[in-house]
Amino acid sequence: MAEKFREQAIIIRQEEIADDIYSMWLRTEHIAEYAKAGQFISIYCNDGSRILPRPISICEIDKADGALHLVYRVAGKGTQEFCKLHTGAQLTIVGPLGNGFPKKSQKAFIIGGGIGIPPMLQLAKELDCEKQIVLGYRDELFLVEEFKKYGSVYLATEDGSAGTEGNVLDAIRENGLSADIIYACGPMPMLRALKAYAIEHDIECWISMEERMACGIGACLACTCQSKNKDEHSNVNNKRICKEGPVFRAREVEF
Amino acid sequence: MNTSVNIAGVTFKNPVMTASGTFGSGAEYSEFVDLNRLGAVVTKGVANVPWPGNPTPRVAEVYGGMLNAIGLQNPGIDLFIERDIPFLKHYDTKIIVNVCGKTTEDYCEVVERLADQPIDMMEINISCPNVKEGGIAFGQDPKAVEAITREVKKYAKQPVIMKLSPNVTDITTMAKAAEAGGADALSLINTLTGMKIDIHRQQFALANKTGGMSGPAVHPIAVRMVYQVAQAVDLPIIGMGGIMNAEDAIEMILAGATAVSVGTANFTNQTVTTEIVDGIEEYMSRYGVDDVCELIGAVHE
């Protein structure tokens, strides 16, 4: 069984890197040591009226320093609370949670869309293969320089202000790119399109999913997604995103 | 100091249990909590066949609580017997199996299958607000409550707890009906039906539109209902609803509960159940209480 920890993490530093997008480094006792690319942590609010954890994906892992990098969007009152915290503040966190990305050696597309971009960074760092990184934004860019360290980066923006005007698939087509495996995280329409692309080109495709969660550890069955085949644990065609996921083989899930 | 309590002939090492649906069958939480320290694990509702549950989103946070509409997703009684009961038998805790169904026959089938299983009690869920058939449909009419209790009791080999809904005009009527039907104990309260609307998308927060509200905001309602039911019937009560800490648990016991179930609080703090066990002992030491049973219904005017 994978090791999970509940800890008081300390904020090393936090800054706003784009409109409502925050970059936070946390010092952890054990979680960074055990964390893998594509996993997430649960962050708990200090305000007792907010009782559910916020699942936030891991952007980078610094095992030597016992630190985790999170990049998240302020989406509600919980993340609003987190973004106001300064260096030295404490946060209760649980992790590492979920399964993370497999690491294969084929020529890869590493694809992120919007707030699905951050979880791809640690994978980009760890994969040892030819990497084509395709990042899709609405308009404002973030983390681009960080990704450039680990592969060739192609951009798509909805307003055409950087890279290809359109989405990540438009960027792939415009640049005439191809790969033998896809790793991706982003909005559902993007993941759907990538699944179709992978089937069309007969290549492997791994996607990271998200859903509203409560327990974050597989007990409450809130964050399910439909699976193609009967799941061994649930005994129905549902998988737990927090436990069997968040990373799934695209062909295994229906969305 | 005695922390053990007795419900329908079953002795629990302490009055702290897990609320059905929040704790699975204990496997996930066993990575954080020593299940041996719990009075009982009350498992997620199980039906005669696997149920896929509702579409997502299934949960939404609200001020001081949450809404859920999981829809009783469960693996069905066969896999439950094969996997979940043997898992829990590794621990020195009591096993209470929550049973759900769409029809009286469904409930009875599960109860019959459990008859020869090494479990301690059954909790019959006639109060789930999130399924179209069964669930709460049996729990909002006293005649139906009495009838299903009576039917289930015909097949049950273990003591039967009826889990009551707070979504009724007078919960004591339902409690009396369960008592008349032969229930051995009562669990209350299940969740309160609620709704949340996302004003930015102008959509329901839950795919099911409505969901059951739980969490600290419902605790005073639960305390009130436990008190009322304790006054109305002679059955032992397992009190639940928004218990977040030992103070809330003790409040519930003083109102008349013999034991308590902790649900939503597990989502906030994985180890809350054992912290409540410790907190009850600290309270007993502080106030010189030798036997936790002295606290049951001990609130006075």
Determine which of A1, A30, A210, A221 to mutate to test the interface with B (most B C-beta atoms within 10 Å): A221
Q: Quick check: B61 and B9 in contact, CB under 8 A?
A: no
B293 carries an active-site annotation:
no
Contact A1 B79 (CB under 8 A): no
- Output the CA angle B185-B188-B193, nearest 5 degrees: 145
pLDDT at B205: 98
* Contact status of B211 with chain A (Cβ, < 8 Å): no
Q: Quick check: A47 and A91 in contact, CB under 8 A?
A: no
Among the partner residues A1, A52, A235, nearest to B66 by beta-carbon distance = A52
* Contact status of A44 with chain B (Cβ, < 8 Å): yes
* B10-20 core/surface letters (b: 16 or more CB in 10 A; e: else): bebbbbbbbbb
Q: Give the β-pairing of A247-249 and A204-208.
A: antiparallel
- Output the CA angle B168-B173-B174, nearest 5 degrees: 70
Contact B68 A220 (CB under 8 A): yes
Contact list in B for residue A235 (CB cut-off 8 A) is 50, 75-76, 79
Cβ neighbours, 10 Å, residue A232 = 11
Per-residue pLDDT of chain B (301 residues; tens, 9 = 90+): 999 999 999 999 999 999 999 999 999 999 999 999 999 999 999 999 999 999 999 999 999 999 999 999 999 999 999 999 999 999 999 999 999 999 999 999 999 999 999 999 999 999 877 777 777 778 899 999 999 999 999 999 999 999 999 999 999 999 999 999 999 999 999 999 999 999 999 999 999 999 999 999 999 999 999 999 999 999 999 999 999 999 999 999 999 999 999 999 999 999 999 999 999 999 999 999 999 999 999 999 8
Backbone angles phi, psi at B87, to 5 degrees: -60, -50
Q: Quick check: B222 and B229 in contact, CB under 8 A?
A: no
Min Cα–Cα distance to chain B from A68, Å:
21
CB-side neighbour CA atoms (13 Å) of A71: 24
Check the CA dihedral A41-B243-A79-B58 and report its sign. positive
Q: How far is CA B27 from CA A239, B86, B195, B270, in A?
A: 16, 11, 31, 12
Q: Quick check: A11 and A88 in contact, CB under 8 A?
A: yes
pTM: 0.96
* Contact status of B100 with chain A (Cβ, < 8 Å): no
Give the max Cα distance, chain A.
51
